[in-house]
Amino acid sequence: MLALSGLFVLFLHAQKNNNPTPAASNGVPRPKLVVGLMVDQMRWDYLYRYQNRYGKDGFNRLLNQGFSCENTFIPYTPTATACGHACVYTGSVPSINGITGNNWWDSKLNRSMYCVEDKTVKTVGSDSRDGEMSPRNLVSNTITDELRLATNFRSKVIGISIKDRGSILPAGHSANAAYWYDENKGMFISSTYYMNDLPQWVKDFNARKLPDTYYAQGWNTLYPIETYTQSTADAKEYERTEIGPKNSFPYDMKGYIGKDYWKLPFMPQAATYTFEMAKAAAINEQMGKGAETDFLAVSVSSTDYSGHSFGPNAVELEDTYLRLDRDIADFLNFLDKQVGKGNYLLFLTADHGAAHVPGFLKEHNLPGGSVTLSSLVKKVNQEMFEQYQIKDIISNSSYYNLALNHKQIDSLKLDINQIKKTLIKRFEKEEGIYRIVDKAALDQSNLPNPIRERLLNGNFPYRSGDLQVLTLPAWFKDNPKGTDHSVWNPYDAHIPLVWYGWNVPQGKTNHEYYMTDIAVTLAAMLRVQMPNGAVGKAIEEITGKK
């Protein structure tokens, strides 16, 4: 009888093992929720530039209770939005993941390609074409994909951003959803890549018409304007005027209610709007409430819009970050209540930084300037037509990459190497241009190793140009007003990286790390496979202290 009882217990144990419980409750320690928070165009020094004006519960909470990797760099060029979001989540570089810019010249298709464009899908949520997007141009997978794979797709992954690329690329290929802002309609949308209809909660969120509420509020400084001592005078001639006829406070936006929704991303309320959408997703999708770890990828875009328009030293940018600090504090308090303090893992980073405005530098006797690259390309194309009878010998000049018209060059049986030499000699005569490099000979170039490696890491076959323009430090292309980014220099490539929450020690390190290390560190912490194109390394100060 005892023997039979023992056999029965063994039988029940075998049956139990044939029906295993979910991985999160099967001995694999993981947080309930991972939150990736990317702040578009956030230079590393913004953590400290306004620190004495930040409250205790936003950036300072992350710095004081979390772990900051103070010397984190982008290991490729161009330092652009799409590339940064792809790199953070793939642990890879453009030469592997294929995202070589927000746009690039596709030599196979012989046309310019937008990073997330996909004409096989349709907009979901509006009748505009802003939703014809998907992650299909990303050729490697993401940490969010690997989390889904590790849990047999039980983990829920959602991406949210004003920018389509800021939502789609982090969410990965297998995401449950990605939502982004339709600038024509003033609402969040998606595409048929993810769904055929918006969930009811998204429809209800859009029905609140928050963009009109923000337009009614307008934009004035959070504090008396004379207290903005980290900024220049309010109105400077080298600032741009996308959101109004003048570039000074207060900004009265009431006239745009019901229209011109493309102006909202320049306002700090666009960050608030993004966080409100993220909260709605967490609540309605019950993220962090199930047996498996969920992943909420949030990207704040307003900092990039206002940064481009006004530059790093404007009152507008200081106010944008002071307001963002409040939004982050509110979001952390929400996560404490929704998921539980200590139950979520959050990292904050940026896709790139930004240069100082040339006009600002000139005011203070600092070197820098703007190369009118687009005009220069037109001028050189005309000169080359007179010499070679080829129209538009330079087909495209995205992100300092010059793509040549191979079809015509080949048809005329011209020596492409001689053409390259002629172009290099011509472009290097221009003020502000440091070097022009032949991409085909990058590995043999005499560039300093860090620059050469970054160019190699950004070079993907058929999605990169033939020649690379390198400007002098603090020089950038085309826009003498406002600022820009895309180069290897520290002002564009030195980014914040702060970890907070589940199993994160308190402290900081000055060891040099790279954007590629973020996804690999997440993989180590979550105990899942790293993304399939990853080249980074786990940050042991984070993974080694449990």
Catalytic residues: 81
What residue has token string 């085909």? 440
CB 522 within 8 A of CB 34: yes
Is residue 428 helix, strand or coil? coil
- The single-letter DSSP state of residue 5 is H
Q: What is the C-alpha separation between 378 and 392, in angstroms, rounded?
A: 8
Sign of CA dihedral 45, 47, 48, 52: positive
DSSP E strands in 183-262: the ranges are 187-191
CB 504 within 8 A of CB 525: no
CA dist 413 to 176, 407, 408, 409, Å?
51, 10, 8, 6
Q: What is the C-alpha separation between 49 and 312, in angstroms, rounded?
A: 10
Is residue 395 helix, strand or coil? strand
12, two tokens? 């029940």
496, two tokens? 């914040």
Q: Name the nearest CA neighbour of 72 among 286, 302, 277, 352.
A: 352
446, two tokens? 């005499």
**Helix and strand totals (H; E) in the chain:** 20, 19
Is residue 494 helix, strand or coil? strand
CB 360 within 8 A of CB 232: yes
439, two tokens? 């991409």
Q: Name the nearest CA neighbour of 77 among 519, 478, 539, 442.
A: 442
CB 469 within 8 A of CB 317: no
Q: What is the C-alpha separation between 415 and 454, in angstroms, rounded?
A: 28
Q: Name the nearest CA neighbour of 288 among 19, 24, 21.
A: 24
- Between vectors from CA 164 to CA 110 and to CA 370, what angle results, nearest 5°? 65
Q: What is the C-alpha separation between 300 and 320, in angstroms, rounded?
A: 11
Q: What is the C-alpha separation between 96 and 6, in angstroms, rounded?
A: 56
- The single-letter DSSP state of residue 219 is B
Specify the DSSP element, H or E, that contains 468: strand 467-471
Which residues are bridge partners to 113 per DSSP? 104
